[in-house]
Structure 1
């Protein structure tokens, strides 16, 4: 025996003990109780009207979920084996919680906005809807630098569309009709729900019948992408990150099911929406290279974002560069309001030449990850999810301009990793190493290649 345990294994064991305590209900209760407090504090103290409106509705939803989890815990102690405390019941509570803390606030705020309330949507919603209108009318979702400069100073920020061209598709319904159901958040929610449904279906059927352990790990991953407060709040008030995240998670699930071509298509669609998906695409292609499937994966993962850029590049190259490159890098006519107090922002604002220092740290982390990928490419999708999660976490913490809500990306990716590890491993085989050991080993056998 070794004198010192592997830190990763020790961390995995601690997480597993917490995750499985009382059949998973203890962590469920902790999540819903903490979320209730978060939503209540948001409703009482947030300076953003859409956030306060979300907190008012979500507090009730989370409180009901906490009460349900408490009831399940009591039932489990008094009647071991009761279906009330089983996995299907936990899935039901999770679904109802997402409906009351994310989907219901989306509908409520969309209806209120359609009724004349101007404080029921974050700027992202307006930006995407304007982009959809421009795409329908001019063939590009972007305004050029001259057009943005001609706007009143207070409206120049909303003139920028710092997303990839595909994001404008969620704004097309608004270009057709002015109604609550054409609110971009409604279609963000639809896209997210479809991608998550495909994720669950893929991981449940990837290696035969689903084991309770894999189903429990999958439930935890779905909770991270739906009922975790940062995810529910983001969907209800802005929403553009949720379909991107869901597609990235779906791509990893398809990879775990040994469908590299479809995985590339899923992450490629995400990359056609937002730049945050591009690092995931790169790491996924590195995973595919270990299985001699890099061309199939890269065709969708890298080809779809490039294909989405070509039409708008031909229509107005300067507009594309101004919105997608200059503005995110801080060289636009106005600066981004994304300023959460993470290390990168604090360094940029307080140290001499702070932006240069923060940028250097960000580049150093990127180079370290690149070296890691070249020397030791991930051989499992669990390892791929871990690299993506920790890499995005480091980038979010070090970027000079970032948002607290971006943390939903690393949170969901890291929590998905155990489910991916279990989906890749054959079920019912004693002695099979548990996560994260499976994330560091080559699968024992090769599955049938994707059709």
Structure 2
């Protein structure tokens, strides 16, 4: 099955040099397609005990590391990355990460202030020299946050040491779903990782850390806000009202500490760029124009745009009702609820991209991969070999089973 998956990935990547009009996507496809083909061959030809790791390594090298390094050294990046890096430069020199009078779509910054953090290395290091070009690239820090959060999430779900998590994480990162986003824009990757980590912390009863992580997420991008009620209900269901209130209060205070200074001093700019522009309500159209249902409706005119917003509200109410009627009882169930809400939002919003669907997809896949690995560890017995020592870990196995069945 893995060989089939890598073969399909090779076919998907090969389409981009032929059909895409985006230069970075064409470049990625030219490197990724042969890498995926090699991964499929390795999976078939090598002994079973090393085939999966070798295939994932080949795909990771050719579809992620090589294109990311080459694109960074050549200074080629998509508009999302340029917006984040420019916002950091503006913050350093003017104290505000938003242009006051945007004219073009690339002048708008649709992200909340914390996203600027990923552009700070570019503002500090500049563009001189290969090391500065690579380490200053916001995509590198998007990827680091994504991978670090998913590793931490997996360990919280009871999957054992980080070494046990590396094979599935490498395969997920090398998949076209993540590889293309990481090498091209990657702005949603840290958001995916932070949401997974926050819900894993909540499932483990760590209310204060969960609140801090949620606050960080809610100050990155508005799409993280649905994670707050999901995490609060998860804590309430498992540990009671006080931990839920503690996490929610911490998240609100942490995010408000970042957003309020700009909301009070630049309210009009923040509303225009962070709210109205992504919803397609400004005179300058957003470049997010994939033919999702909401976008198709919005393209029919003012009536279609209104219908799109109405359906978005109805869909959000339906998901909220499901969340209240059947609150999550584990990390997997919580991630499923959040993924459903985000899928509805991305599908019915007046503007959106197919790439946004990577967020709910990873929310569904990664907790299951990590919890499934934890179940296999637990099934092997209460005593597990770790290096040259044997350690018992019944608690994490039990927590993972609860998360899986929740």
Structure 1: 5+ residue stretches without partners:
1-25, 77-82, 114-119, 442-451
- Secondary structure, aligned partner of 1:302: helix
Residue by residue over 1:86-120, the C-alpha shift from the partner in whole angstroms, topping out at 9 and shown as x without a partner, is: xxxx356435533431232121111112xxxxxx2
Counterpart selection for 1:188 from 128, 142, 151: 142
Counterpart residue number, 1:136: 92
Counterpart selection for 1:236 from 180, 183, 195: 183
* Cα 1:29/1:351, change in 2 over 3 Å: farther
Check the 8 A contact 1:133/1:175 in 2, yes or no.
yes
Query: Aligned pair 1:163/2:111, yes or no?
Result: yes
Counterpart residue number, 2:4: 30
Query: Aligned pair 1:84/2:35, yes or no?
Result: no
Per-residue deviation at 1:298?
1.4
Check the 8 A contact 2:38/2:55 in 1, yes or no.
no
Per-residue deviation at 1:229?
0.7
State the distance in 2 between where 1:39 and 1:165 align: 34
Residue by residue over 1:302-339, the C-alpha shift from the partner in whole angstroms, topping out at 9 and shown as x without a partner, is: 33222210222244222222211221222223110111
Counterpart residue number, 2:37: 63
Counterpart residue number, 2:299: 349
Counterpart selection for 2:317 from 354, 367, 381: 367
Counterpart residue number, 1:111: 73
Counterpart residue number, 1:175: 123
Per-residue deviation at 1:380?
1.6
Aligned residues: 380
Per-residue deviation at 1:221?
6.5
TM-score, normalised by the number of residues in structure 2: 0.84
Counterpart selection for 1:42 from 16, 23, 48: 16
State the distance in 2 between where 1:243 and 1:416 align: 14
* Cα 1:410/1:381, change in 2 over 3 Å: same
State the distance in 2 between where 1:351 and 1:30 align: 43
State the distance in 1 between where 2:301 and 2:74 align: 44
TM-score, normalised by the number of residues in structure 1: 0.76
State the distance in 2 between where 1:29 and 1:424 align: 24
Decide which moves more: 370-379 or 122-131: 370-379
Decide which moves more: 61-70 or 196-205: 196-205
Counterpart residue number, 2:226: 279
Check the 8 A contact 1:257/1:424 in 2, yes or no.
no
Backbone CA RMSD of aligned residues: 3.0
* Cα 1:57/1:420, change in 2 over 3 Å: closer
State the distance in 2 between where 1:94 and 1:254 align: 28
* Cα 1:221/1:375, change in 2 over 3 Å: farther
State the distance in 2 between where 1:187 and 1:415 align: 22
- Secondary structure, aligned partner of 1:276: helix
State the distance in 2 between where 1:161 and 1:106 align: 23
Per-residue deviation at 1:417?
4.1
Residue by residue over 1:270-297, the C-alpha shift from the partner in whole angstroms, topping out at 9 and shown as x without a partner, is: 2221122111222111111212221232
State the distance in 1 between where 2:288 and 2:272 align: 18
